[in-house]
């Protein structure tokens, strides 16, 4: 008799694959479709015409990519500048209300983002920060801080305190011990939080929309404009560009981040 035990499992797995890769396949089709209209199930002609359009020198996409990456790098720098000392303090010192402090970083995410960003936009108007890179970096930093602080706290907490004390005991000052022992050991976790903040900034839409438009156009905003205007090819290609760093990050986390660090995130 033929064994059919694998069948339900196979069906579930197949549906899952379809749910994940279906939209991606659609994205890939649109990225290379030169002509595709109803009622045709598949594109009529394929080609790189829209890729040329997107990547042409001084095109919107290249400029947006440049803007996006600039904002993301500044956001990472700002987040780490706060998260490194904050994470170390939260991991090492016996702070009162430690849990409350940890949760406070989550607050920006706790309220409906539209309401929050409309009000931030109003405030920034008053200060002349609307439409500036600084304004967008600030919004992204507040958004990314929760990941940065939580992950760096976990990274520092995973390092045995005796490792630092051992450095102190053979003559290292507190700063030397931190630079020579704690920081190198926490580096994978700090890298992960940096990459995470970078990706969050790269993908961020709502805040950028309210604070940056029309002067600051990032890739997600470009994608939005393109798809509203019916330029699905441009939108699809932009989406694919945005996909590359995310996948790279997944591989990084899988390769470098130890389970004991991930287990301490948010703890």
Partner 1 sequence: MPGAALEVAGLEVAYGSVPVLRGIDLRVDSGSFVALLGASGCGKTTLLRAISGFVQVNAGRVLANGRDITHQPPDKRGMAMVFQSYALWPHMTTAQNIGYGLKLRGQSRDAIAKRVNEILAMLKLQGLGERMVTQLSGGQRQRVALGRALAINPDILLLDEPLSNLDARIREEVRHEIKALQQKLGITAIHVTHDREEAMVMADRIVVMDAGNIAQQGAPEDVYNRPVSAFVAGFMGAGNAIRLEARPSGNGLRIAAGPDNSAADVTKPALGPGIDASYAGPVIAHFRSEAAILSAASDAPDGALVLRGRIAQASYPGGHYRYGVSVGDLNVIVDSGQRLNVGAAVGVRLPVEALHLFPADGRANQQSFKQAS
d(CA 15, CA 4): 18
Is residue 258 part of the contact set for partner 1 (CB under 8 A)? no
Show contacts with partner 1 in window 177-236 (CB under 8 A). 180-181, 184-185
Is residue 260 part of the contact set for partner 1 (CB under 8 A)? no
CB of 179 to partner 1, least distance (A): 11
Closest CA to 55 of 175, 222, 181: 222
Is residue 35 part of the contact set for partner 1 (CB under 8 A)? no
- Asked if residue 90 lies in contact with residue 153, where contact means CB atoms within 8 angstroms, the answer is yes
Q: Which of 81, 166, 179, 243 binds partner 1 (CB under 8 A)?
A: 166
Cα 203 from chain centroid?
Answer: 6
Closest CA to 155 of 193, 103, 181: 193
CB of 187 to partner 1, least distance (A): 9
Give the nearer residue to partner 1 in terms of CB position, either 111 or 256: 256
Binding-site size for partner 1 (CB under 8 A) equals 18
Is residue 95 part of the contact set for partner 1 (CB under 8 A)? no
CB of 215 to partner 1, least distance (A): 45
Q: Which of 28, 118, 172, 213 binds partner 1 (CB under 8 A)?
A: 172
Is residue 170 part of the contact set for partner 1 (CB under 8 A)? yes
Give the nearer residue to partner 1 in terms of CB position, either 61 or 181: 181
CB of 167 to partner 1, least distance (A): 7
- Asked if residue 66 lies in contact with residue 217, where contact means CB atoms within 8 angstroms, the answer is no
Is residue 47 part of the contact set for partner 1 (CB under 8 A)? no
Show contacts with partner 1 in window 105-134 (CB under 8 A). none
The H helix count followed by the E strand count for the chain is 14, 2
CB of 235 to partner 1, least distance (A): 45
Q: Which of 109, 119, 134, 169 binds partner 1 (CB under 8 A)?
A: 169
CB of 161 to partner 1, least distance (A): 9
Give the nearer residue to partner 1 in terms of CB position, either 40 or 161: 161
CB of 94 to partner 1, least distance (A): 9
Record the tokens describing residue 232, joined without a space. 């699905």
Give the nearer residue to partner 1 in terms of CB position, either 146 or 181: 181
Radius of gyration from C-alpha coordinates of the chain? 23
- Asked if residue 225 lies in contact with residue 71, where contact means CB atoms within 8 angstroms, the answer is no
Record the tokens describing residue 250, joined without a space. 């997944």
One DSSP character per residue, 209-262 reads: HHHHTTT---HHHHHHHHHHTT-HHHHHHHHHHHHHHHHHHHHHHHHH--HHHH
The three-class DSSP label of residue 68 is helix
- 49, with CB counted inside 10 A (0-12, 13-18, 19+), is middle
Which positions lie near partner 1, rule CB under 8 A?
160, 162-163, 165-174, 176, 180-181, 184-185
């Amino acid at each position: 008799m033929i064994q059919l035990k694998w069948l339900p499992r196979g069906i579930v797995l197949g549906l899952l694959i379809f749910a994940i890769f279906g939209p991606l396949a659609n994205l890939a089709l649109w990225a290379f479709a030169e002509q595709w209209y109803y009622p045709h199930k598949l594109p009529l002609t394929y080609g790189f015409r829209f890729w040329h359009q997107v990547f042409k020198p001084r095109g919107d996409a290249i400029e947006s990519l440049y803007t996006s990456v600039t904002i993301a790098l500044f956001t990472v720098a700002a987040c780490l500048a706060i998260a490194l000392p904050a994470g170390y303090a939260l991991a090492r010192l016996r702070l009162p209300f430690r849990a409350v402090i940890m949760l406070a970083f989550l607050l920006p995410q706790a309220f409906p983002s539209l309401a929050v960003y409309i009000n931030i936009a109003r405030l920034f108007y008053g200060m002349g920060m609307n439409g500036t890179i600084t304004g967008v970096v600030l919004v992204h930093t507040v958004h990314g801080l929760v990941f940065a602080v939580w992950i760096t706290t976990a990274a520092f907490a995973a390092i045995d305190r005796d490792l630092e004390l051992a450095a102190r005991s053979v003559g290292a000052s507190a700063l030397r011990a931190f630079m020579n022992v704690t920081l190198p050991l926490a580096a994978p976790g700090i890298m992960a939080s940096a990459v995470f903040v970078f990706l969050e900034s790269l993908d961020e839409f709502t805040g950028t929309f309210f604070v940056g438009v029309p002067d600051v156009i990032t890739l997600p905003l470009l994608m939005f404009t393109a798809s509203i205007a019916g330029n699905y090819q441009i939108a699809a290609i932009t989406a694919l560009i945005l996909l590359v760093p995310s996948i790279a990050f997944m591989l990084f986390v899988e390769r470098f981040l130890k389970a004991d660090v991930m287990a301490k995130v948010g703890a």
